[in-house]
Amino acid sequence: MRCRAVTLIILLGTAVPAAAQVTGSISGPVTTPRPRAPQSPAPQAPSGGEQGSNPFLGSVPQGPPSPEPLSLSAKDAVERALRNNLGLLLQEQSASSAGGARWRALAELLPDLTSGLSERRQVINLEAFGFPAEPSIVGPFNVFDARVFLSQPVFSISGINDAKAASLNVKAEKYGIKSARDLVVLVTLNLYLEAISADSRVASVRAQRETAEALFKQAQDMKSSGVVAGIDVLRAQVELQTQRQRLIAAQNDFEKLKLQIARAIGLPVGQAFVLTDKIPYEPLRAMTLDTALARAFESRADYLAAQSRLEAARATRRAANGALFPTVSFDADYGAIGQTVDSAHSTYSFGATLRVPIFDGGRTQARRIEADAALRQREAEFADFKERIEYEIRAALLDVQAADQQLQATQTRVQLAASELEQARDRFGAGVASNLEVTQAQESVAAASDIYIAALYAHNLAKASLARAMGVAESAVIAYLGGKQ
């Protein structure tokens, strides 16, 4: 299962740097997973017992398990994952948090309307306020006051740009949700493809075990007839035990992959299910680099999110600069005041306030420095993004082409290995060769089958990776794999 481990590391280790901190953003730069190991070390994703720390490998199960096994197609698995995957749910909450920040920024521009009701009994010392009088003590007397207060910012460059930056960040987080959905699709399909590859490997090893059993029985019969020596029987028995061990390992890998699928798509613990789709082969229609690039720049949510964050950083810098400009606000109140409710009379006040910043201890300068640094960071990230997208598209197209050629080559190898085994069995049955040739031919068939299954898996993953690189994983990846939308 080396191919599976490598792919999962690439998929989750380099696909979304923000996956480990979903509470921030999912729509950062994305590296398309490759169906083979990279030449340079890649960041490592959680593996084995640590996989649960990656939110895209977890979920929030819904409902109790059903007594009957579920029939689960690739499309069903994707739909369940899009409802229950933990990484996507966390990203949706991150977008909600950005919406709250937007309302907080808007509150600085919207009217502030409050009301108050008070009734008190008091005694006043007039002399304390500079009014010499006899007597200087007034009261006790009652004061009743019911009043509505209004404060409305009229002009604030800083507030306007803060609100614009917050709105752009909300837009970026919404793109982040789409990017997270694409990643959930890719992770789910990767696990599903791994599982059906493992299922195919189980079937292949089971067939090899049955062949080994038949050859062992044949060797025993031929030894009883005095045609072959005892070492041929021993060699056949060793091969049979080897195939049995391989079958146990293959079945164990398959069941563990099913557990990973259940964790990622939100199936209840203990829910039995059956994978209904077989490992597909569907050649990809010819696609030019220009077409793929145009689609990526139009559809990739992480690219559009980076664009929105760049605009938000520019608005934040304008807001920092705007803190040096005067602000104007309108304030008013209206209510009734008197000694009692019945004797209260209406009163009001209104006016405008002009505030001119003179010295704030360097807070505005500090904010400007931070905003400039954040803007330069976003500009650098965005400048890198276009080149990165072109690299990912080119690499994905190369992977699809290479995987298709490798698949064709492995199909020929499987046919040749099967023919070699058939001839070796005939030679052994005719007594003109020992079963050493048969054992070697069996190993060739086993190796060819494993390579074919791995090549088919790599071909499908390459197509899914291309869909992800173009930003259309959710809408197109099932069709790319040969299924129906």
pLDDT tens digit string along 285-331? 777 888 888 888 888 888 888 888 898 898 888 888 888 888 888 88
Which residues in 143-169 are b (16+ Cβ under 10 Å) and which e?
ebebbeeeeebeebbbbbbbbbbbbbb
pLDDT tens digit string along 334-388? 888 888 888 888 888 888 888 888 877 788 888 888 888 999 998 888 888 888 8
- Asked whether residue 475 carries a pLDDT value surpassing 70, the answer given is yes
Which structure tokens are listed for 252?
Answer: 């164990």
User: Considering the domain 2-105+159-321+363-480 in this protein, what is its CATH number?
Assistant: 1.20.1600.10
User: Considering the domain 111-155+325-355 in this protein, what is its CATH number?
Assistant: 2.20.200.10
Q: Enumerate the CATH 1.20.1600.10 domain ranges in the chain, comma separated.
A: 2-105+159-321+363-480
pLDDT tens digit string along 238-267? 988 998 998 999 999 999 999 999 989 988
Is residue 183 within 8 Å of residue 87, measured between CB atoms? yes
In this prediction the pTM is 0.70
Q: Enumerate the CATH 2.20.200.10 domain ranges in the chain, comma separated.
A: 111-155+325-355
pLDDT tens digit string along 3-13? 444 444 444 44
pLDDT tens digit string along 112-145? 888 988 888 888 888 887 777 777 788 788 888 8
In percent, the amount of the chain with pLDDT more than 70 equals: 86
* Half-sphere exposure of residue 416: CA atoms within 13 angstroms, side-chain side: 10
- Asked whether residue 21 carries a pLDDT value surpassing 50, the answer given is no
